[in-house]
Amino acid sequence: MSMREDFESKMAGEAMLDWDDGMQEYRSVVTQKMWVTWQAARATDSGSQVVPEWMAEISQNLKTQDNRITADPLFVVFQKREIVTHEDFDYDRISWGSSDGEAPEEIQEQLNELYGDVESDFFREDQITHTSEDGTETWQRAALKEIDEFVTACFTEAGAEAYLKSNGHNLRQPFIYVTSLFRNEEMKNLREWLSTSPGNGWVRCEDEWPHTEEVIWVDDNSYPKPTLLDVGFLQMAIDLGRVRHWMPTGLKRPQPPTGESK
């Protein structure tokens, strides 16, 4: 497929494609300008890429968020989890349980009485088979310690809060803890890149209009790479849903020559 055939396939239904073989240009002035800028974009091997909005949002948050007086902060989501430990060491509480879970409070009290009664057959026994109105169950005594369990980590507090909003209901007493990436050069470099690189000069059309530019780069979704566009056609491209970002080129139309006869 030739370059012009490719152009016409993309512009089908959006532009007048009446080609003048003699002049080697489109008869429509608008289409001809679009054709010229399209060719210029294809002739330029631009490595520019439109940064996704989610990445731009991370970059903005990194620049403006409260870092909690922490250098290179990382916002970590933890939840509380209980583990079985030894009674001779650090623990938070003692509980009786089985494969079905912890014993009800009433059963807990009865088991503790049997465990502490010197006249009981279960004095100081860590395993007690107990019969109640619900049936017979074997309960195991255990020392439990509550610990902080890592869940996930985010570069921004907004990201951590968004995670809790979507998944916090599945966690036990979740909370956000801010730590530092001190001496973690890999993560620090990635964080620095996110805070400075995203954008790469791209501007959202809704945020700022190219008042001082005449020819700009745009992220026209009809093409695989950024393309040049006359600012006069930007609004039309936006209305067609094809362009959301632009980037200055520094290109302006030259003034006509002066001091010489035409």
What is d(CA 136, CA 29) in angstroms, rounded to the nearest whole number? 91
Whole-Å CA distances, 103 to 5, 106, 107, 135, 223: 76, 8, 6, 13, 65
Residue with tokens 């610990």: 147
pLDDT digits (tens, 9 = 90+) for 34-89: 777 666 655 554 444 556 677 878 888 888 899 999 999 999 999 999 999 999 99
Which pair of structure tokens corresponds to residue 105? Answer: 């409070």
Beta bridge partners of 38: none
Least confident of 125-139, 143-157, 203-217: 203-217
**pTM exceeds 0.75, yes or no:** no
- Domain ranges in the chain are 3-51+199-248, 69-181
262, pLDDT greater than 50:
no
Which pair of structure tokens corresponds to residue 110? Answer: 């009865």
Buried b (16+ CB within 10 A) or exposed e, 62-92: beeeeeeeeebbbbbbbbeebeeeeeeeebe
Residue 51 has what pLDDT? 60
Considering only residues 20 and 39, tell me which one the structure prediction assigns the higher pLDDT: 20
Considering only residues 220 and 262, tell me which one the structure prediction assigns the higher pLDDT: 220
**Closest to 138 in 3D by CA, of 117, 122, 120:** 122
